[in-house]
Amino acid sequence: MRPEHDLANRGVDTVAVDLKDPDGVESVLQLAEAADVFVEGYRPGVAERLGLGPDAVLERNPAVVYARLTGYGQSGPLARTAGHDINYVAQSGALHAMARQGEAPRPPVNLLGDYAGGGTMAAYGIVCAVLEARASGHGQVVDAAMIDGVALLTAKLQGLRAAGLYADEPGTNYLDSGAPFYDTYRCADGRYLAVGALEPDFYREFVSRLGVDVTGWPAQDDRGAWPKLRELIASAIATRTRAQWAEIYAGTDACVTPVLSFDEAAEDPHNRGRRMFQRVGEVLHPSPAPRLAAPPGGARPPGPGTRGLRKWFGPRTPESGCPAETRESDYEGRGFGPPSVPPSRRVIRRPRRAPRRRAAPRHVCRRTPRRRSPGCAARRAGRRRRGRAASRRTATAGAAARRRCSPARTAPATGSAGGSSRPTWSARGRRGRRRR
């Protein structure tokens, strides 16, 4: 696959590392020291043998999130067994439900196991672990198994089964093509129309625009008459082309849409208005989702896919980049970067700079060996302020007492030598002695 065709890794810096070389393993560990997330997709035990297991990585960076994305998980009898999307979906029980009545199960391409149950669930677990690591400072291992993710996506069906509202036989329920008003139908031009008129109001809107007399049709909730109702709907839809039906049901609440191909979806007015697809050269790119009101960063300009990793690997980094015909204007304002170099067996994402750790306080309390907390200074300042206020109140009270107790000179005592006398205080002050 050419680099510009690898859309799943667009905007990702990659570098090939020989993990059987100790220098290569050390380079990866140095890169992990400043990373927030470390992702590996080997079979269980392979990363440990290479020296890149959770213990080795977390020892170098205790706050890193170590994500392990596999098909069958890190434990269980099938943990080391090879498999693909169809195997994981089948193992979870979901593939059994994806069939018409009496027909073989049909796998939904590889969207359910690889991407929905695997990549999406792994990304969700990584985000949860990163938020916890930022709060506690401790990383952890995320065991993301595709069978676990697919099984979780069947939670609604499991609840319906327990309530007796969903049968185990495929193709007999509302959402698995069993209901004639939730299925696809062939039009006069050989193209297909998708009908999803589940609710009674939507169903009435749907049948009212078929252009046929529906007076004698079976009721919507009559399961025994669903096969006959399916034939009636199919015969009515086969009378017009897909474009005609799209025009008839446009702007209604009948829940009817044409089944579009990839190129037709890119040219649809609604999709074009939301810019769901964008062409870069000759390649049709789906736009990033979900849409953020304040997306981080901008478009990645074209250039060597390894430029962000050169400072980590130095001259060992291969000098390979995007095709020469790729222009910077092709990516301006598109919200995503250019295709990077072809992914190797080891894809390492560009790390973020590790946050600077707060230094421990240098001053130590003299009375106790404990380090002062941030509130020590505030408490000392408060004590000083309260002490000064108490001193001012004491001085004011003493002055008032001395004014009330003013000294009085007594008359000279008769018979005293020299006719002199000593002052006599009429009252004792706060701190003074009583003199006579």
Show which residues are catalytic.
Answer: 84, 114
Structure tokens at 428: 């004792």
Give the whole-angstrom CA distance, residue 365 versus residue 376. 9
Nearest-angstrom CA–CA distance, 144 and 409: 99
Instruction: Give which of 173, 169, 190, 191 is closest to 182, Cα–Cα.
Output: 173
* Backbone angles phi and psi of 361, in degrees to 5: -65, 140
- The widest CA-to-CA distance across the chain, in whole angstroms, is 148
Rg (CA), the chain: 40
Instruction: Give the number of other CB atoms < 10 A from CB of residue 424.
Output: 12
Exposure string over 45-83, b if 16+ CB within 10 A, otherwise e: eebeebbbbbebbbebbebbbbbbbbbbbbeeebeeeeb
How do strand 37-40 and strand 65-70 relate by DSSP bridges?
A: parallel
Distance of CA 36 to the CA centre of its chain: 13
Helix 85-92, helix 146-153: angle, nearest 10: 50
How far is Cα 127 from Cα 427, in angstroms, rounded to an integer?
A: 80
Starting at the edge strand found earlier in the chain, the sheet holding 182-186 runs: 182-186, 192-196, 256-258
